Structure 1
Amino acid sequence: MVTLLLMSYKGFAVLKHLIEKRQSAIIDSVIIGEDKAVQNDYSDAIAKLCTDNNLKFFNRKDIYTITSPYCFVISWRWMIQADHAEIIVLHDSLLPKYRGFAPLVNQLIQGEKEIGVTAIQASDEYDKGPMLLQKSAPVQYPLKIKEAIEIASGLYIQIAEDFFQMLLDNTKFTYTDQNEAQATYSLWRDDEDYKIDWSQDAASIVRFIDAVGYPYMGASAFLGHEKIRIEDAEEYRDVTIVNRDAGKIIFMEDGKPIVVCGSGLIKLKEARYDNSQISIFPLQKFRIRFK
């Protein structure tokens, strides 16, 4: 029997697939986590799936005891009290690269051409455990984080299906140690990390905007004294600027501003004031600097 510890759309997608594939018979219980930093953490949807399919479930903050011999963990960020269980953790990267936090977001910001998911045995040091399964998929840009999550969720489903089949077939697990020489780390992100650095090149800024958009808070900048969230932008043909000053508007097109970057230009397509959620368009002034 397996205890699932689930959070996010990825956890929801995996549970839904296991139910549809009739692999849920060996699920002992589901522990559901919540994430207030995203617009939809899917905790209610996971709970409804459990209710509709007669699966025992608990909220992370409930009192419960894990007694099953295996734990299968998705998007979890808390300590797991399961001394006698073999704990399999899924991580959003092709380990040993991008150990740590927000690996999928950081992979998109870096413009990686391939994203992946790795199933590892839990270890005392985060994301260092031996690897059980690994899946990858090529990606192309522009790519928004919502689309990347859907791609990654497909990889989660593949790993979950393989893992559950191994259990059903009583297959012995074979682990592979990570290559420490290839290890890289991905730091946690907070509100400071949503700020756009206009001194960067246009392609990097567009990737950043796409990588921290829905379901996350969205790339931020200041328009005067008000914080805004930029939800959509695209690269724009560059021109020669003798006094390039990143963040200033250089053109207006269809009521949308073209903004100077460290190199290149971008066109802002969707943006809103952070407090009111109202669109910043149409802008009332042309002589504006985004900070």
Structure 2
Amino acid sequence: MRVVMFGYQTWGHRTLQALIDSEHDVVLVVTHPKSEHAYEKIWSDSVADLAEANGIPVLIRNRPDDEELFERLENAAPDIIVANNWRTWIPPRLFDLPRHGTLNVHDSLLPKYAGFSPLIWALINGESEVGVTAHMMNDELDAGDIVRQESVPVGPKDTATDLFHKTVDLIAPVTIGALDLIASGKKDFTPQDRTQASFFHKRSLEDSRIDWTWPAADLERLVRAQSEPYPSAYAFHKGKRLEVLAAVVSEGKYGGTPGRIFYREGEGVVIVAGADARTGRNRGLALTRVRTEDGRELAASEYFTAMGGYLTSRP
């Protein structure tokens, strides 16, 4: 089939490479300009560079809503559009233009975690598996019928970086497998159960701020979800920013006020956590590795020279 690809960052790059390696013919690529957004500078393999290296025409757009793009798309005469990590709305006159419509590839197990940063949100929420879904695009974001879906388990120590590497390897088989089904003439795919749908916003630095009223297990997952190269989870100590690089849920239960620097346990320093910490029934978050505002990375037991005081969400 003749394919137009809309995509961005490493997700789009992997999709384009899979299409180039397949029997399908990529006739046009549309991608976004480079961004300085903290999250969009991560996993930033260039779709434009890959297309140009393979002699494929490229259009660079923030939004696909101009007449020149529409005319170029009409002239390319695609059988299908394939999109992955396209960051702005694609209007119906574009996604309905090819005879087979538009296949969107999304890094979650739809209908859950539509929208943005699905791996990070899924890890924070304690999901047991993550994956990649190829679905037909319609008027609602990430809501069309599912053509193909594959999953991988989330391990107890997995970080968002680990999950990225697990799921990015699913892009090629999910995308090409879905295209092969469509090319074979199959038209009836699996409708999403909209009662199970969830939709998440883009993450920003504000979303990495630690709220000590969260349960310790949730905070431990937040720290893993904000693994390098993502911006680390952080709090403030004596008015200065302190990044939390590694932490575990404490073995003991500790009572008091959320954020209290309380007790040395093993190799960690326990911080009281949970909105109902006053009951004394909660486990705390044992910090094991931190980074100071001036960039020093050290063991939490070395950083905290004495117990007492608080880690706060704001200076």
TM-score range, shorter chain: 0.7 to 0.9
2:224 maps to: 210
* CA drift at 1:221: 1.0
* CA drift at 1:58: 3.1
Please give the per-residue CA displacement for 1:34-53, whole angstroms capped at 9, x wherever unaligned. Answer: 45222734445433333433
Q: Distance in 1 between matches of 2:17 and 2:295?
A: 33
1:52 maps to: 53
Pairing 1:42-191 to 2, within 5 Å after superposition? 42-61=43-62, 64=69, 65-66=72-73, 67=76, 68-80=78-90, 82=94, 84-85=97-98, 86-166=101-181, 169-191=183-205
Cα 1:48/1:200, change in 2 over 3 Å: same
2:13 maps to: 12
Which amino acid is 1:47 matched to? Answer: A
Q: Distance in 2 between matches of 1:70 and 1:277?
A: 48
Cα 1:42/1:51, change in 2 over 3 Å: farther
* CA drift at 1:60: 2.6
2:279 maps to: none
| SS at 2:287 equivalent | strand
Q: Distance in 1 between matches of 2:202 and 2:126?
A: 18
What RMSD over aligned residues (CA atoms) do the two structures have, in Å? Answer: 2.9
Instruction: Confirm or deny: 8 A CA contact 1:7 1:41 kept in the other structure.
Output: no
TM (norm. structure 2) is 0.78
| SS at 2:297 equivalent | coil
Instruction: Confirm or deny: 8 A CA contact 1:271 1:280 kept in the other structure.
Output: yes
* CA drift at 1:210: 1.0
Cα 1:184/1:51, change in 2 over 3 Å: closer
Matched, 1:27 2:37: no
Pairing 1:218-257 to 2, within 5 Å after superposition? 218-239=232-253, 241=254, 243-252=255-264, 257=269
| SS at 1:209 equivalent | helix
* CA drift at 1:200: 2.5
Q: Distance in 2 between matches of 1:123 and 1:164?
A: 17
* CA drift at 1:97: 2.1
TM (norm. structure 1) is 0.83
Corresponding pairs, count:
285
* CA drift at 1:108: 0.9
Instruction: Confirm or deny: 8 A CA contact 2:134 2:175 kept in the other structure.
Output: no
* CA drift at 1:236: 3.2
Which amino acid is 2:270 matched to? Answer: I
Which amino acid is 2:188 matched to? Answer: T
**Once structures 1 and 2 are overlaid, which stretch shifts more, 30-39 or 100-109?**
30-39
Q: Distance in 1 between matches of 2:46 and 2:115?
A: 27
Q: Distance in 1 between matches of 2:217 and 2:195?
A: 30
Q: Distance in 2 between matches of 1:87 and 1:109?
A: 31
**Once structures 1 and 2 are overlaid, which stretch shifts more, 76-85 or 107-116?**
76-85
| SS at 2:303 equivalent | coil
| SS at 1:73 equivalent | strand
- Unmatched runs of 5 consecutive residues or more in structure 2: 275-281
Please give the per-residue CA displacement for 1:83-120, whole angstroms capped at 9, x wherever unaligned. Answer: 51312112232222223333222211111111122222
2:297 maps to: 279
Which amino acid is 2:205 matched to? Answer: D
Q: Distance in 2 between matches of 1:15 and 1:38?
A: 21
| SS at 1:237 equivalent | strand
Runs of 4+ in 1 over 6 A off after TM superposition: none
Cα 1:32/1:288, change in 2 over 3 Å: farther
Instruction: Confirm or deny: 8 A CA contact 1:221 1:229 kept in the other structure.
Output: yes
- Unmatched runs of 5 consecutive residues or more in structure 1: none
Instruction: Confirm or deny: 8 A CA contact 2:39 2:204 kept in the other structure.
Output: no
Cα 1:272/1:181, change in 2 over 3 Å: same
Q: Distance in 1 between matches of 2:25 and 2:207?
A: 41
Q: Distance in 2 between matches of 1:192 and 1:220?
A: 10
Q: Distance in 2 between matches of 1:214 and 1:171?
A: 43
| SS at 1:238 equivalent | strand
Cα 1:96/1:39, change in 2 over 3 Å: closer
